[in-house]
Structure 1
Amino acid sequence: MIRYLIIDDEPIAHRIIENYGENLPHLVKVGNCYNAFEAMQVLNESAVDLLFLDINMPKLSGFDFLKSLASPPKIIVTTAYKEFALEGYELNISDYLLKPFSFERFIKAINKTIDASPNKKSMANLITETKPDVGSFFLKGDKKHHQIHFEDLLFVEAYGHFTKVYLKDDMIISSQKISDFEKMLPTLDFLRIHKSFIVSKNKIRYIEGNRVLIDQHKIPIGQTYKENINKFF
């Protein structure tokens, strides 16, 4: 588990990081701080592995706060001011997220932070290694957290900035990108057959030409993904 703390004077920044963090099972939020002095108190009372730190805050800037820490945890700076990036790297931060940042960029920052730590595996590896053991994962959609069992998952379809997750008896729209599902789903059971589709191998009824049939859905096979399908034969 990676215990993280958000330090930012903007409430919307907290909500964005929280929403992203909820999609990664190995991130656990310790607390929310809206200035550096609140953060000092939390750090004195709780174990924290990672800080999401804003730079431009009242009373004490993020960098001045960071300089005051004797043994700081890993730091991911989140800010709207790209001109401060150089100073941030001189303070040995793990990564620098320029607001507004995407979920994909957020994952890259987490992976970079973990990879920089000894004896740590990337978030993508942690997810794919733990999920097959439990046979399910939690997915946020419709303001709920749905438990998705692999055996119920038919296929995943890219849907603009979102993803449609098709189940035996339901369909859920998720804010995660299809590339996130490709990392998360076990490769023994799921296969990407198109830039917009990942399918359950066991749910394929038949393959005909450039399409596969799953349930009543006809799903196209992308030209660059035909090799994946050819492995079936």
Structure 2
Amino acid sequence: MRCIIIDDEPLALEILEDFISKTPFLELVASCSNGFEATSVLQEKNIDLIFTDIEMPDFSGIDIIKSLDNKPMFIFTTAYSHYAVEGFNLNAIDYLVKPIPFHRFLKAATRAQNFLKLKIEEETTIPVQEKTHDFIFVKSEYENLKINLDDIRYIESLKDYIKIYTGKEKPILTLSSLKSFEEKLGKLNFIRVHKSFIVSLKHIYSVQRNRIIIEDKWIPIGLNYRDDFIKKIDN
């Protein structure tokens, strides 16, 4: 994986450079001491992974990530733990608190490698419009999980990930786009009703104006999806 480091502390750059040199699947493209250098590199180079400090003069690590339209994977490396929630809200791969031991760095880098593999597999999967079987397999963390289609209540998009709600206590999180997953499900029993939601027609309890109720969840019906949804349930 091609990566860059962003940190205003020379010692921190040196440590991460050493860690990357010891990790066979990482290739260091650039070490940047500020966000302006990093932005220039990101515009010119193809980068898979960013290691970035958060508190830096002028341009914080969070600012850098928010400024990117097409975000590579990123890992925050910081001396302050109180940014962790915001970091994960931005979908950080990991959050490393300085001083960073090598084993913790390697764990975070391996997690990024696994996510990249899943993304590549997802992008190269041949879409299937209609399924003749009644189950699918999805990758979640380090497992291939079998999910019965009848169990799926609805699917929610979270940027590069989706949550699959099956009626169990915890939803299943997998790396996928909603569009790609819609193609896997087929169009017989599922329909997209919002830019962030696909629902199972089987599990709809009621439709109230611009929302759908499935169990105790209220799901919005997007304006661009309403006509197709109404035609579907009318038929």
TM-score when normalising by structure 1: 0.50
TM-score when normalising by structure 2: 0.49
